[in-house]
Every structure is written in C-alpha cells, then in structure tokens.
C-alpha cells in the first residue's frame, strides 16, 4: 500500500469511536480494520451479513467462507454474528449504523457523493452505498485529493452519477479534512505536510477555513 493511502487510513481511524457500529466500504476503507487499536471495542458491519469483523487473516487463518462485501476473506471477532442480506439492510435502513466510512470518486461542495460508477465502464451493480449514505448516522468519505491526471476530485458539482445528495459529513484526503455544514464546506485540517495554499490550489470546490486552522497557520 502506498504511503499516501496509508496516511489517509491512519487519519480515518481517528473517526472510529469506542463502542460504535461501523460499516467499512469496499476498497481502501476495508483496510481500516487492520489499524483499529485492540483496546477499542468496535463492531464492524458488512452488508453481506457480518457483524464483528476482525483484521484481515494471515495465510494460516484464511477461511474461504468468511468474506466481506468486497469478497475479501476476513476474520470474525469473538461474539461476532451472521445474518442474511435482508437483516443487514434492515440494520442500515433502520439507522443502526453509527458510522460509515466509504471511498469516493468525487465529492461536491454541497456534500454530494459519486462513488458507484464511471459511465462507459462495466459495473456489477450499485452495491449498498446508496442505502448506507442515507441510513448511517455519520458518513465519512476517504479518497485521494486528485485523480491520476492531477485534477481535483473535490468539485463544485459532481460530474459522475450520484450515490447521494448532501450525504457527506466529513471528507478525508491525503491533503486535508473537510466538514460539510449548512453554510458550506469547511477546511478543518491540513495533513501530511500540505498547507492551506496547496489545498486551495488542488480543490475546485469553494470552501471556508476553520478559524482555529487560520490561527495555527498564522503562527
């Protein structure tokens, strides 16, 4: 895993609070399971019917029957439970997921999320993200700040098909942490050696800067 992605994951782990039920989206978010401190009592949920997912298994612990929503083999913590897909989505739609951490392709200045397809490319389906972003108590998106061409993935308006409108509470990239409030997008933190000017340069969407960050930058 690149240091860029690892930095994002390590910052995202800070969002996971003790005693919460957390859904991790496929891709980079699933790696968070390996970084959660052992002393934290977290219940990781997967929409294919698992509650109590542990870290990825070593070769000697692989069980092909234990997989997450991304079809990756996982471990199950003591006390973990298994249920069908309908029960899993009843948990999601009923508002029983405290936190969802998902990947993103684009996020808009209003907190719109696009993360399920790129037109013209084959996709297996929309997955569970459309339900998750509506049902989870808090939605955190993690993604690189720019695409492979160096273009901002944080846009005035998403160009890709939306997963949900105004659903993102917090966005964590390799450069920054943003929150989405009724008054707009707010830059809360700069990360990994970036500064406010760099974030402004690589962010298409307009945003304001948290006063506490302004004070820190001025020192």
Catalytically active residues, by annotation: 47
Tokens of 143: 């993604």
Strand ordering across the sheet containing 50-53: 76-82, 50-53, 43-46, 21-24, 99-103, 139-142, 170-172, 176-181, 184-190, 208-209
Backbone angles phi, psi at 146, to 5 degrees: -130, 165
Residue located via tokens 């949900």 = 164
Burial 85-99 (b: 16+ CB within 10 A, else e): eeebbebbeeeebbb
159 close to 147: Cβ distance less than 8 angstroms: no
Q: Which residues contact 157 (CB under 8 A, 6 or more apart)?
A: 108, 109, 112
55 close to 32: Cβ distance less than 8 angstroms: no
């Amino acid at each position: 895993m690149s240091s860029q992605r690892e930095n994002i994951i390590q910052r995202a782990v800070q969002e996971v609070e003790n005693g919460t039920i957390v859904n991790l989206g496929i891709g980079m978010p699933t790696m968070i399971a390996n970084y959660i401190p052992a002393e934290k009592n977290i219940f990781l949920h997967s929409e294919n019917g698992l509650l109590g997912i542990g870290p990825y298994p070593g070769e000697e612990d692989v069980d092909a029957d234990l997989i997450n929503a991304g079809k990756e083999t996982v471990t199950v913590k003591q006390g973990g439970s298994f249920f069908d897909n309908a029960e899993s989505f009843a948990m999601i739609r009923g508002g029983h997921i405290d936190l969802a951490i998902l990947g993103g392709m684009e996020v808009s200045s209003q907190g719109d999320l696009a993360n399920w397809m790129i037109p013209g490319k084959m996709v297996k389906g929309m997955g569970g993200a459309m339900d998750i972003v509506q049902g989870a108590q808090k939605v955190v998106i993690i993604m690189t700040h720019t695409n492979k061409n160096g273009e901002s993935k944080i846009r005035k308006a998403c160009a890709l098909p939306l997963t949900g409108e105004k659903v993102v509470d917090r966005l964590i990239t390799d450069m920054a942490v943003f929150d989405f409030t009724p008054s707009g997008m707010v830059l809360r933190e700069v990360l990994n050696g970036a500064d406010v000017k760099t974030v402004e340069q690589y962010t298409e969407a307009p945003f304001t800067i948290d006063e506490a960050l302004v004070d820190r930058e001025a020192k």
